[in-house]
Structure 1
Amino acid sequence: MAITLPPGLNQQTLPKDAAQSGLTRSRAGGRILRSATAGALAVWFVLPLVPLGLWVFADRWSYPAPLPQDWGLQNVDSALSRGAATAFAGSLGLGLVVSAVATPLGVLAARSLAFHPSRWSAPVSALLFAPLALPAFVAVFGLNVLLVRLQVPSYAGVVLVLTVYALPYTTYVMRLAYAAHDIGFDEEACTLGATQGQVFLRVQFPLIAPALARAAFLAFLVGWSDYLVTLLIGGGSLVTVPLLVASAASGAGNDGIVAVLSVMALVPPLGLLLGLTGRRRRGGWS
């Protein structure tokens, strides 16, 4: 018995259409799964911030009330009177200085390890990543004694130690970038008469810019969020937001002030992260 197919449909097009339909359903299912995962992660991270945001504007919030009974800016005023603005400026400056020092050093180290390997590459890599393996308290306590005997200024000592702790992150990120970098672009530019500086600025820099931004961001986080190094080596001369958060959290009845300081600690890293993500989605990175 012969089977007659409708006009325009044959045995060759039928499996192809079925395959395309299955592929479309697979892609749709993947999008739904990614959207659900992103939504769950967003709820996971945002939900704990809700009571934190309520505490910022709560003049009075007593148990068992689900919401604050009195609203206002009393907690903000109290945080500012404790030196929150000065601590914010100190943390911001420290993060920027550490990022400005550790990022180019990480670029130089990663470039050397990627393009000029030698028998010393393994020991140098181990030395660069050693700060991540050493106990922070032991290392910082020993360095504090050394820096005091050498009469190194406290701020310079904090920047120096935090730069050492930021170097593993910047070196690792930039080494991955240089490992994926095609050296042929540099060689072609040199063939056309470009100098080493022009090769870096016009060829390498546009290609490694995303990794460079990530490395600078991680170095900034090291300086911005540090507590132990700033406390021990700074010796109280440098007040940052993490120090104020710890001081306020150690006291009773300071939930509102801790909330204000915690929100202040979240704003710069979150703003930088959203800025980097938004720039990448808009195609700002080449």
Structure 2
Amino acid sequence: MRQALRVAGLLLALLWLVVPLVPVLVWAGAERWSFPEVLPSTWGFSGWRDAASAGLPQALLRSLALGVAVAAVSTPLGVMTGRVLGWRLTRHPRLVVGLLLVPLVLPPFAVAMGLDVILIRVGLPELVSVVLLLALVAIPYTAYTSATGFARISLELESQARALGATPRQARLRVVLPAVRGSILVAALLAFLVGWSDYVVTLLVGGGQLVTAPVLLGAAASGSGNDSMVAAMALATLLPPVVLVTLAAASKMRGGGHTSAAAGLSETMPEQERTR
């Protein structure tokens, strides 16, 4: 029964994601679609050719690189913060939570404008500034997701591994991290999506030099008048997040974190302890 509910929930989530894509999918394959026709009168791939000519492949690669860079910076910081929150290792959790909420509460446009001035004065390259700002936005997501994973396991897990002969590094890498692996993967996915889908920070701080897929899509939607090309760009920008979220949801349903933790704990034990 529980498995059936999980499958039903996953199907509903997929439906929620896919339904908005249907008109975009139709437009991406349309050569001519005039009102009040229900379906396009002419089908073709001119929109995709125009999108490729406008620089869509290069923009997608830039979005991919930006998403990976943001995830690489914000995920470790979020995991460390999540460990503190999930295991209640601080006397001032409300202060930590308040600091994490600041990037989410303030308007992104105002934050980008203000920090852009500071970063220009410091002299950081535009690309580095974009990555750092987006990592700052992503850290609350990675921290809260990681905190959920740490809250589900006992603080004693690391102590037990240490008692069985593991070094602090071995205890974290072989026992603790496998136990929260699912939460860390979701946190990294969320951070990647922050970098992949951002428009405001990339446009303002990047100074128009970093043309990612959302920036290219925004420019095309505001002035091209080519609906098929805009739809092709939108579909190419939307599909990777949808695929990643679907894979993450399917992986989450399979689970297995505690088994990995148990295996890691066994590996840290001296041979004589395991054979007693």
Q: Deviations over 1:64-96 (max 9, x none)?
A: 222222222110010011110111011111011
After the TM superposition, which segments of 4 or more aligned residues of structure 1 sit over 6 Å from their partners?
A: none
Matches of 1:156 and 1:32 in 2, distance apart? 44
Unaligned runs of 5+ in 2: 260-276
TM-score scaled by length of structure 2: 0.85
Matches of 1:269 and 1:124 in 2, distance apart? 29
Q: Deviations over 1:215-257 (max 9, x none)?
A: 0011111111111000110001100111111111112632111
Correspondent of 1:110 among 62, 78, 82: 82
1:156 counterpart residue number:
128
Matches of 1:246 and 1:230 in 2, distance apart? 12
SS of the aligned residue for 2:223 comes to coil
Matches of 1:96 and 1:251 in 2, distance apart? 30
Correspondent of 1:218 among 173, 187, 190: 190
**Identity of counterpart residues, as a percentage?**
42
Correspondent of 1:125 among 97, 116, 133: 97
Establish whether residue 140 from structure 1 lines up as the match of residue 81 from structure 2.
Answer: no
Correspondent of 1:278 among 238, 244, 250: 250
Matches of 1:156 and 1:58 in 2, distance apart? 39
Matches of 1:193 and 1:262 in 2, distance apart? 53
1:49 counterpart residue number:
21
2:143 counterpart residue number:
171
Q: Relative to 1, partners in 2 of residues 1:33 and 1:85: Cα closer, same or farther, differing over 3 Å?
A: closer
Q: CA deviation at 1:130?
A: 1.1
Q: Relative to 1, partners in 2 of residues 1:245 and 1:200: Cα closer, same or farther, differing over 3 Å?
A: same
Q: Relative to 1, partners in 2 of residues 1:151 and 1:41: Cα closer, same or farther, differing over 3 Å?
A: closer
Correspondent of 1:180 among 130, 152, 158: 152
Q: Is contact 2:138-2:194 (8 Å) kept?
A: yes
Task: Answer with 246-255 or 115-124: which moved more.
Answer: 115-124
Q: CA deviation at 1:114?
A: 4.0
Q: Relative to 1, partners in 2 of residues 1:31 and 1:177: Cα closer, same or farther, differing over 3 Å?
A: closer
Matches of 1:55 and 1:238 in 2, distance apart? 27
SS of the aligned residue for 2:31 comes to strand
Q: CA deviation at 1:33?
A: 12
Matches of 1:68 and 1:277 in 2, distance apart? 34
Q: Relative to 1, partners in 2 of residues 1:49 and 1:108: Cα closer, same or farther, differing over 3 Å?
A: same
Q: CA deviation at 1:117?
A: 3.1
1:244 counterpart residue number:
216
Matches of 2:11 and 2:92 in 1, distance apart? 47
SS of the aligned residue for 2:180 comes to helix
Unaligned runs of 5+ in 1: 1-26
1:61 counterpart residue number:
33
User: Which residues of 2 match residues 23-34 of structure 1 at below 5 A?
Assistant: none
1:78 counterpart residue number:
50
User: Which residues of 2 match residues 224-235 of structure 1 at below 5 A?
Assistant: 224-235=196-207
Letter of the structure 2 residue corresponding to residue 134 of structure 1:
L
Q: Which of 1 and 2 has greater Rg?
A: 1
Matches of 2:12 and 2:147 in 1, distance apart? 33
Q: Is contact 2:182-2:255 (8 Å) kept?
A: no
Matches of 2:132 and 2:6 in 1, distance apart? 45
Q: CA deviation at 1:131?
A: 0.7
SS of the aligned residue for 1:250 comes to helix
Letter of the structure 2 residue corresponding to residue 243 of structure 1:
V
Q: Relative to 1, partners in 2 of residues 1:269 and 1:32: Cα closer, same or farther, differing over 3 Å?
A: closer
TM-score scaled by length of structure 1: 0.82
